[in-house]
Chains A and B, each alone.
Chain A
């Protein structure tokens, strides 16, 4: 047992150590401490859990009967499928299966969810709090107790609060831990809370749909793929992005004989299942969308009744698209006019059971809100929003907040940092928070401290230089993660979170076809010194004098209280895992009745007054984007079904399925370069950025000759990630040209071009 004075003593020492490092925050590899230094095979041997094997003396599967089944919902991606962790008597999780009652997965997890065991078993997991110190003139981490780490952070946050105000703290978050730290920081007095899921991902899409229909497509998306007769995918690669419910429904749509139209410069998996694949020239999507709108209007194929009842601005739209004929689009997109007309007719034939899918990662070329607007307008002309087989109206249940004092009102928020930029940003763009953490001239930075929870900014953010400058300027950088991701190497304090299988989190209260509640609870005790995010936030809150916001001993009390307010209980949820509630409203527009859309006028905005007033095109315009110079190829990136961003790259089970990414090269291009199958090459972009590692070549007819393709999330350069280190390339290190969306601050990332280096450029890798 520590004496309190001992703890204070240690705390002060750490505090001083921290202050000595104002000048530069060196990248520290956690492996220097000998933590997590397991051999590559450790994962395999750890998997030997005495499960009965066939032909052994046991009856096959006899141990199955003694397994405990604990409800959870997945945290390997944002879809959050509900499932069961199967736990042996001695406390090992041997498998995870889906919960049959969850409409988001229907009892079937995706490979990442099934592979969630690997996240739990990963020998490289963070194990104990770490504090940055100077030892023999070098920065390093030393292991610390929770008491010491938490007190150090709280004391530093108190300092920042009194020196600069609580608004000087910001949060970067992804997934479940984000909600706990959001609560902490709101109580502390800041609303500078940012997630890469906005500016780097779905933000442009959501803003484009909100400007048109008054609401976004949400997550999970309100796409009625199950009952659609025509599904149009524009760069969205369902099946490679493993958004479980959508993958399942696309399969149902195939069974039902739905027409699938896929627009993609690459023969994606979805494209290979499509009746029409439109191998578009990259960056010309808006031209195609405008010509589709032209055909629907000028060939009289649009849904007149729907448009006249629910939409406004049709005349302006009609006049505007007059010149955007398929012949015009052909010269831009390289898609034949007949193909454009035929596919428009297919959509009209299926309408209103048709979905122009808005995709998810939409930050491509900086005009992404406008592209999303064009998709939304197409949907409106086809009458798909609010109709079966198009987009349904979601319904959910809102759990009341566990009682706490009102949050203080911050003196300023991220919105005050905009200075007229990004007028339609309705969530904080990460890039804005990053820029605001860098001092300019004699101006102090507005943001002085970060908590980063569950997101590896090093892989997520393309603006490397700004990110680096910001991290060097901060007075406090705390990283909370389960794994020693690259971002942990820049932290002053690293806090090891336990995995989703070892913790309570908020109830998943989902709005979708039907309202659902799902429980995540600890299946086993947390490994090592790891702790759940709710506990970390509460401990910090108490040390900051915010105990009243955390008026419970265990988070289960919060959940039980919340569940009881809506007629359930923690006990009930522990038994069933998922509770489906019945809808009260219709999921579709009722024929003959009016409907008020959540726009300013209550009507669908074909012509956007909101955009016009903010100084943007009220109707989407096609803009020509830069093209590769000779010897360079457009860098297109995407997803693989067995990995989630960079966060699964070290999961031993998922590494076994896909250990590295490869660069897809058209055979003609490979021939010119003399590049052979499976050869390793380095990639260099238009600004001279060179990949940290070499990447394996995949020569395939599935990619255009003017583009290359890589799966995002590989090329980790942090050695403590033993399975992931040095495998493949990280696309974001080659994305130095960022095309900002002026409407909401999205970081368009598809304007980068790479060339091949067949000899080792001898790049020094910070590892």
Chain B
């Protein structure tokens, strides 16, 4: 089992529904977020293009945040989901510095928080909140080791990229381009 996400930049409209659905699903305090949307603009008017991306923890195979965690709070669950056990986390913030994606934040309650791929939903057979809410259905979530999964198929048929490949983290959020 290898959970991953593919996000279609050709369909994303940058509405940030993923951000607010995550917030209400996971009780993320206002002013913080586990996912966010970026926009990059290329070219000169009128030859301009934009790319919109919903970003979050990349649940990397080779995760610097897990390696640097002094207490083992940051760890990898079944299916490759990178998690933080809140009551083991001492809030030192080393993982925040180590993450090339700036995907982690210090929760006001004293621990480090980040995207969990909504493991509590996934275990029940639901999609992560961001995927389930997206009005454009631009996000695909599933098991890369299942040859019949939607995400396996979409990555087989479309061009894609991942972020900061130079960091060598083997990220598991793929952007369809």
- Tell me, rounded to whole Å, the shortest Cβ–Cβ distance linking B94 to chain A: 18
Question: Contacts of A43 on B, CB cut-off 8 Å?
Answer: 30
Tell me the nearest residue of chain B to A121, going by C-beta: B30
- Tell me, rounded to whole Å, the shortest Cβ–Cβ distance linking B127 to chain A: 11
Tell me the nearest residue of chain B to A334, going by C-beta: B46
Question: Contacts of A44 on B, CB cut-off 8 Å?
Answer: 29-31
Contacting pair B132 A114 (CB below 8 A): no
The answer, yes or no, to whether B124 is at the interface (CB within 8 Å) is yes
Give per-residue flags for B1-34: 1 if the beta carbon is below 8 A from chain A beta carbons, else 0. 0000000001101111101110111110111010
From B43, B50, B86, contact of A55 by CB (8 A)? B86
Contacting pair B17 A114 (CB below 8 A): yes
Given contacts A49-B27, A61-B121, A242-B15, contact A110 B45 (CB under 8 A): no
Contacting pair A701 B27 (CB below 8 A): no
Contacting pair B45 A703 (CB below 8 A): yes
Task: Please report the C-alpha to C-alpha distance between residue A51 and residue B50 in the assembled complex, in whole angstroms.
Answer: 37
Contacting pair A117 B24 (CB below 8 A): yes
Given contacts A55-B86, A247-B136, A657-B19, contact A114 B46 (CB under 8 A): no
Tally of contact residues, B, Cβ under 8 A: 48
Give per-residue flags for A84-113: 1 if the beta carbon is below 8 A from chain B beta carbons, else 0. 000000000011111000000101111100
- Tell me, rounded to whole Å, the shortest Cβ–Cβ distance linking A382 to chain B: 26
Contact residues of A between 240 and 288, Cβ < 8 Å to B = 240, 242, 244, 247-248, 250-252, 254-255, 267, 269-270, 272-273, 277, 279
Give per-residue flags for B101-115: 1 if the beta carbon is below 8 A from chain A beta carbons, else 0. 000000000000000
The answer, yes or no, to whether B52 is at the interface (CB within 8 Å) is yes
Question: Contacts of B116 on A, CB cut-off 8 Å?
Answer: 54
The answer, yes or no, to whether B120 is at the interface (CB within 8 Å) is yes
The answer, yes or no, to whether B70 is at the interface (CB within 8 Å) is no
Given contacts A43-B30, A269-B14, contact A108 B120 (CB under 8 A): no
From B14, B24, B33, B52, contact of A95 by CB (8 A)? B24
Task: Please report the C-alpha to C-alpha distance between residue A764 and residue B132 in the assembled complex, in whole angstroms.
Answer: 47
Question: Contacts of B31 on A, CB cut-off 8 Å?
Answer: 44, 656
Q: How many A-B residue pairs have CB under 8 A?
A: 155
The answer, yes or no, to whether A115 is at the interface (CB within 8 Å) is yes
Contact residues of A between 274 and 315, Cβ < 8 Å to B = 277, 279
The answer, yes or no, to whether B95 is at the interface (CB within 8 Å) is no
Contact residues of A between 654 and 680, Cβ < 8 Å to B = 654, 656-658, 666
Contacting pair A641 B16 (CB below 8 A): yes
- Tell me, rounded to whole Å, the shortest Cβ–Cβ distance linking B91 to chain A: 13
Task: Please report the C-alpha to C-alpha distance between residue A47 and residue B107 in the assembled complex, in whole angstroms.
Answer: 14
Contacting pair A267 B48 (CB below 8 A): yes
The answer, yes or no, to whether A561 is at the interface (CB within 8 Å) is no
Given contacts A43-B30, A702-B50, contact A94 B14 (CB under 8 A): no
The answer, yes or no, to whether A64 is at the interface (CB within 8 Å) is yes
Contacting pair B10 A273 (CB below 8 A): yes
Contacting pair A47 B120 (CB below 8 A): no
A interface, size bucket = 35 or more
Question: Contacts of A642 on B, CB cut-off 8 Å?
Answer: 15-16, 20
Contacting pair B50 A272 (CB below 8 A): yes
Question: Contacts of A631 on B, CB cut-off 8 Å?
Answer: none
Question: Contacts of B121 on A, CB cut-off 8 Å?
Answer: 61
Tell me the nearest residue of chain A to B89, going by C-beta: A55
Contacting pair B45 A55 (CB below 8 A): no
From A110, A269, A652, A700, contact of B17 by CB (8 A)? A110
Contacting pair B137 A652 (CB below 8 A): no
From B13, B25, B85, contact of A247 by CB (8 A)? B13
The answer, yes or no, to whether A36 is at the interface (CB within 8 Å) is no
Contacting pair B21 A114 (CB below 8 A): yes
Given contacts A47-B30, A110-B17, A267-B48, contact A247 B135 (CB under 8 A): yes
The answer, yes or no, to whether A330 is at the interface (CB within 8 Å) is no
- Tell me, rounded to whole Å, the shortest Cβ–Cβ distance linking B37 to chain A: 9
Contacting pair A704 B45 (CB below 8 A): yes
Question: Contacts of A658 on B, CB cut-off 8 Å?
Answer: 16
Question: Contacts of A97 on B, CB cut-off 8 Å?
Answer: 132-133
Question: Contacts of B46 on A, CB cut-off 8 Å?
Answer: 267, 277, 279
Contacting pair B120 A110 (CB below 8 A): no
Q: A-contacting residues of B (Cβ < 8 Å)?
A: 10-11, 13-17, 19-21, 23-27, 29-31, 33, 41, 43-46, 48-50, 52, 83-89, 116, 119-121, 123-124, 132-138
Could you name 9 residue pairs across A and B whose Cβ atoms are closer than 8 Å?
A: A54-B86, A95-B24, A115-B24, A252-B137, A279-B46, A641-B13, A641-B15, A700-B41, A702-B48
Question: 10 closest Cβ contacts across the A-B interface?
Answer: A61-B120, A239-B13, A60-B120, A641-B15, A55-B86, A251-B136, A44-B30, A95-B24, A51-B27, A279-B46
- Contacts beyond the supplied A657-B20, A702-B45: 17 A-B pairs with Cβ under 8 Å: A51-B26, A97-B133, A105-B135, A108-B134, A110-B15, A239-B15, A247-B136, A267-B48, A270-B13, A277-B46, A641-B16, A656-B23, A656-B33, A658-B16, A701-B41, A701-B44, A702-B50
Q: B-contacting residues of A (Cβ < 8 Å)?
A: 43-44, 47-49, 51, 53-56, 59-61, 64, 94-98, 105, 107-111, 114-115, 117, 239-240, 242, 244, 247-248, 250-252, 254-255, 267, 269-270, 272-273, 277, 279, 641-642, 652-654, 656-658, 666, 700-705
